[in-house]
Amino acid sequence: MVSTNRLIYALLSMIVLVILGMLTASWRVILYPYLFVIGISVLIGLISLIQSNRKFIWLPIGLVGLYLLLFIWLDVVSWGSPTGGGDSVNYVLGLVPSTAIFFLGIWPVSVLAPLLYAWTFTKDNSLASRVTESKYHGV
């Protein structure tokens, strides 16, 4: 069963990796664990819904999977190029491939994510996390 405690400790483990990435100047060790932090944040938001219907766990998993796919693709396109893919002779709608992946792929996920929020909103009518509700001061 998914619990807030587990999610918070999963968040901690990813944050520790992010700190290590910063201390060792390894941007991939910052970025890729952070994509899982995004998924954990969505999981925390949906926890009461997921506890009542486990199939909704695929929403945060799908979101993280999509981000991973797009960022790995961007990494591959830019990787090994001192210009970050800026010298490409291929264009997508007038943009070099790395810029196209970012602004036509990764950026629009910022619209997909709130659509997921709106879609799950009416399904999760608890108004606040029932998990924590009874544990602190009546909230």
| Alpha-carbon dihedral 107, 55, 8, 31, rounded to 10 degrees | -30
Looking at the chain, list the stretches that DSSP marks H as alpha helix, in order from N- to C-terminal side: 4-23, 27-45, 47-52, 58-78, 97-100, 109-121, 130-133
CB 96 within 8 A of CB 85: yes
* Cβ at position 54, least distance to another protein in Å: 18
* Cβ at position 113, least distance to another protein in Å: 4
Angle, nearest 10°, between helix axes 27-45 and 109-121? 20
Total residues at interface with another protein (CB under 8 A):
68
Between the two ends of the chain, the Cα-to-Cα distance in Å is: 23
* Interacting residue with another protein among 52, 69, 109, 123 (CB under 8 A): 109
* Cβ at position 44, least distance to another protein in Å: 5
Contact pattern for another protein over residues 2 through 21, marking x by CB under 8 A: --xx--xx-xx--xx-xx-x
The reply to whether 36 sits near another protein by the rule CB under 8 A is: no
User: Residue 97: what are its φ and ψ, rounded to 5°?
Assistant: -55, -40
Interface residues with another protein (CB under 8 A) are 4-5, 8-9, 11-12, 15-16, 18-19, 21-28, 30-31, 34, 37-38, 41-42, 44-46, 74, 78, 83-87, 91, 93-96, 98-99, 101-103, 106-107, 109-111, 113-115, 117-118, 121-122, 126-129, 131-132, 135-139
